[in-house]
Amino acid sequence: MLKTLLMAVALGLPMVSMAANKPRPEPVKHLTDEEIYQELKKLALVFEIARDNFVEEADEKKMLEGAMAGMLGALDPHSSYLPADDFKEFSEKSHGEFGGLGIQITSDRGAVRVIAPIDDTPAAKAGIKAGDYITHVDDDQVFDQTLNQVVKKMKGRPGTKVKLTVISDGQEARTVTLKRAIIKVKSVKFETKGDDDKIGYIRISDFGATTTKELKEAIEALEKKKVLGYVLDVRNNPGGYLTAAIDVSDAFLDSGEIVSTRGKKKTDIDRTYAKPGDLTNGKPVVVLINHGSASASEIVAGALQDNGRALVMGSQSFGKGSVQQQKPLGDGTAIHITIARYYTPSGRSIQNEGITPDIEVLQSKIEVLEKKQSTYSEASFKNSLKNDAAQKKQDAKKDKKSDADADAPLTDAEKDALDYQLQRGMDMVRAMAKLAAGRTAVTDADADADAPAEKPAEKKTEKKSAPAEKKSDKPTADKPAKKSDKK
């Protein structure tokens, strides 16, 4: 048995060590073959002693899976061992439907941190936000547990409840009770916004297997409505498939690099470029990001930013610049391991840094400082004449407001009005569209001015022939029509 165990561990070790790509403060000191063999003997010895001396009956499978999980967890927060059940659940999640709370988490110095909740899920409805820390699940501490262990505690039969202890920045710990549900992920939502419905709004909540198809359908529908431009909202989007992020970027680009992934070796570089064909026809694009925008979201924001295709607005993104891959082990289990870092077209690695917005717009609450009507006006004078029509209108407004339910939920328009980042993004799209229209108008005017004047018809007379036309010695305009700089 010992020999078999040593051989199994030895066969698995090269795959793990080859994939490790975590930056370290000091160069890695590699072991010799003899030293590796001695360490593997020690591992087997620990297993034998622990199994034989533990006070209760030892679960050998649990022990070995724990050893593999610890081995991968020592590499970085995103590498892990996936038992058969976890690997099956991971595959189901990747195809758009899975059970749970709808929350993306990561390991942070022994604690569990929320990357982002997924839209319209129990976690999002309970008010859990990006950056929150989860300290307890059903009153059990989660410190120093693996992510898989924490995820297992959160999952359960749909309809059952789970209690989480959550700490938000600068606030006291709070307890929230969530009801587990089947999470059906529709990653793309879209609509027209603005008073004139001319802003194309596209919300991508995560990057899954159906994202590309859903995005193309969204753009096609919005283009038919002749929108002025687009707000692409990837706030609190925790990421997903790299291929989906590439396809989303490509939909807005006509050319240029999208992303490069770089592995362990210097030669392990894979660059991806956009194919011809901007589905939005070059219309203005604003990308909204925040600290909950991670991984694939950052690829899209970085690609459109570096190619000059979009203006990125919001706050600094999460900073997850690594690529993970599942490597099945042949028995239904797998390892989830970091295989590369990704870089934006300009060569930026956003690992631990994130994407810096072109215009920082922190989520804020608008406070009106100027009144609609000055306190010093004709209406402020004593015994001033009243405007009967205006008074009736004001009374009608008061009656309407008093009849409304004060506790009624906010409408979509009211929610949009309170979303400061969205409002600034929409304003920017309008400004960009107006500038582009102005440049086009100037270009057309220049082209008309440079066109040769039409020769007037020659006047006929019976009495006297017309004199020969005097040739002008002035040169014709040689200044070419001004080219539009609209991209």
Q: What element of type H or E holds 100? A: strand 97-100
Calpha distance 82→85 (Å, rounded): 8
Question: Helix, strand, coil shares of the chain as percentages rounded to 5?
Answer: 35, 20, 45
Residues 6+ apart with CB under 8 A from 354: 291, 298, 316, 317, 318, 319
CA distance 471 to 468: 9
The one catalytic residue among 306, 315, 317, 322: 306
- Annotated catalytic residue within 187, 205, 249, 295: 295
Write the DSSP string, 52-87: HHSSS---HHHHHHHHHHHHHHTT-TT-EEE-HHHH
| 322 a catalytic residue | no
DSSP 194-229: TTTT-EEEEEE--B-TTHHHHHHHHHHHHHHTT-SE
120 a catalytic residue: no
Output phi, psi for 272, to 5 deg. Answer: -120, 135
Taking the C-alpha atoms of residue 129 and residue 166, their distance in angstroms, rounded to an integer, is 10
Calpha distance 245→215 (Å, rounded): 11
In angstroms, rounded to a whole number, what is the distance separating the alpha carbons of residues 29 and 15? Answer: 18
DSSP 357-405: PSEE---------S-SS-SSSGGGSTTPPP-HHHHHHHHHHHHHHHHS-
How many CA atoms lie within 13 Å of 425's alpha carbon, on the beta-carbon side?
34
Neighbouring CB atoms inside 10 A of 40's CB total 17
> Which residues participate in catalysis according to the annotation?
295, 306, 320
